[in-house]
Amino acid sequence: MSVRAASGFNWKRIVVAAVTLPVLWVYLYYLPPMPYFLAFLTVVCVLSLNEFYRMYGLRNRFIIPGVLIGGIIFYTICRHPEFLLEGICIGFFALMVLRLFDERTPEGSMSELGPLSAGFLYITVLLSFQWVLRITAGVEYIFLLYASVWIADSMAYYIGKYLGKNKLYPSVSPNKTMEGAAGSLLGGSGGAVLITKVLNIQGLSASGAAAIGVTLGCATILGDLIESMFKRDAGVKDSGSLIPGHGGLLDKIDGFLVAGPVLYFIVRYF
């Protein structure tokens, strides 16, 4: 997400959105979740892990097995969510064993295990909630999630760019503004209400959808700041360059990583 004040209109963002959003809509709405949605999430998981590990400058001897372990554990806990805790433990243990036998010296183990473990928990585990949400609540709530976060992201970007004056959290992300954050809340609320009306989500009123959208807008801000924290620590501006006008894939899904579990907990407990 970008809550920033910058000059010029970013046409690449518009073009990428115009091309990908209709395709994504058709893919998610008309194809069954197994195997198509799970395959989609698994690819996102693997690519994002790769970006995260490369962002921290890990060597291929750790990146490749780290990505494979993350992808396998992701698929496993999605297919068998009742084994989420076991999956986390096995994945974390596998990463420690990888470092133990790959390097014959303990020096630097934390500097390598830190990004490996953080990426595993941050991406693999948090992303898996989208699969559980799809299976338990239905595709309508996946669209509610995606619409809320995407519109929150877009509103934050453009309001922050044109109206942003007051810094939000300069030590973590100097360009993000309070005005952009307000745009995120407004966009999240609007996106949730819109998708609720379009898909006629039963049992969810306009006011309830708006409240959920505001909550998802807050989660989107937090997700953006968390990724900004990692990028600033790693000394990079973007997590990658996969998506024109957006940076890396991780730059684009940072809000979804936090908002997905939040929406799942809302649906399950409220």
DSSP secondary structure letters along 126-173: HHHHHHHHHHHH-HHHHHHHHHHHHHHHHHHHHHHHHH--SEEETTTE
Instruction: Give Cβ neighbours of residue 97 (< 8 Å, ≥ 6 apart).
Output: none
The pTM is what? Answer: 0.92
At residue 139, the pLDDT reads 96
Q: What is the pLDDT of residue 219?
A: 98
Question: pLDDT tens digits for 194-214?
Answer: 999 999 999 999 999 999 999
Residues 6+ apart with CB under 8 A from 72: none
pLDDT of the residue at 18: 76
Q: Which residues of the chain have pLDDT under 50?
A: 1-8
d(CA 181, CA 164): 9
Give the whole-angstrom CA distance, residue 269 versus residue 267: 6
Q: What tokens does 1 get?
A: 């997400």
Among the listed residues 13, 8, 6, 15, the one whose alpha carbon sits nearest the alpha carbon of residue 160:
6
Q: How far is CA 3 from CA 156, 175, 217, 261, in A?
A: 5, 7, 12, 22
Q: What is the pLDDT of residue 9?
A: 55
The per-residue pLDDT for 205 is: 96
Given a contact cutoff of 8 angstroms between Cβ atoms, the answer to whether 168 and 177 are in contact is yes
Tell me phi and psi for residue 170, to 5 degrees: -60, -30
Which residues partner with 173 through β-bridges? 169
* Domain boundaries defined on the chain: 1-31+139-270, 32-137
Q: Residue 81 burial by CB count (10 A; 0-12/13-18/19+): exposed, middle or buried?
A: middle
- As a whole number of angstroms, the distance between CA 58 and CA 111 comes to 9
Report pLDDT for 6: 40
